[in-house]
Structure 1
Amino acid sequence: MIGTSGGKADLLTRLSRIEGQVRGIARMVEGDKYCIDVLTQVSAASRALQSVALGLLDDHMSHCLVEAARTGGAEQDAKLKEASDAISRLVRS
């Protein structure tokens, strides 16, 4: 379940914008654009995806993790591990 603060529509809009950025990068490569210009666009798309990921993580922690903490027990432990694993993946990327 996606409980994003901006809502599902906002998330999909942001992802569509990123998709457009990536298509633009592909066109730059096809058009033999200057490498540094392509890298600048790759960096911008990466930052945009990172922002989406952080927003999803924040929403997960404020909704799913808080609810699991109220429940306690195995559900709490599982959701906490899940969040910790997600953070680890984000830090490594």
Structure 2
Amino acid sequence: MTDVTPEEQKAIVNRLKRAQGQLAAVITAVEAGGDCRAVVTQLSAVSGAIDKAGFAIIAKAMQECMASGETKENAPTVAELEKLFLSLA
């Protein structure tokens, strides 16, 4: 990711690390035969955290494209950004 401030990168990394911890808890619960409802609830939280990180990354790419006003050689196209965005939905 280019042109990401340290604060933005830290927020994304923190969100992903939180999701990683939640996923570890889901795996432990499944291995221990945990309650189905609790496992699904925790899995939903993991999915949401990962989606939010993805949205933050895509939003930053969109901001970069709009702010630059020029096309960079390897900048994502609007169609590519839309496809990425929809892949998280």
What range is the shorter-chain TM-score in?
0.7 to 0.9
Aligned-pair identity in percent equals: 24
Structure 2: which 5+ runs fail to align?
A: none
Structure (1/2) with the larger helix percentage: 1
Give the total of aligned pairs: 87
Please point out which of 79, 85, 89 is paired with 1:87.
85
- Structure 1, unaligned runs of 5 or more: none
Q: Alignment RMSD, CA only? A: 2.4
CA spacing shift, 1:78–1:51, aligned 2, 3 Å: closer
**TM-score, normalisation: structure 2:** 0.80
- Do the aligned partners of 2:19 and 2:49 also contact (CA within 8 Å) in 1? yes
Counterpart of 1:38, as a letter, is V
Q: CA deviation at 1:44?
A: 0.8
Q: Which runs of at least 4 in structure 1 moved beyond 3 Å after TM superposition?
A: none
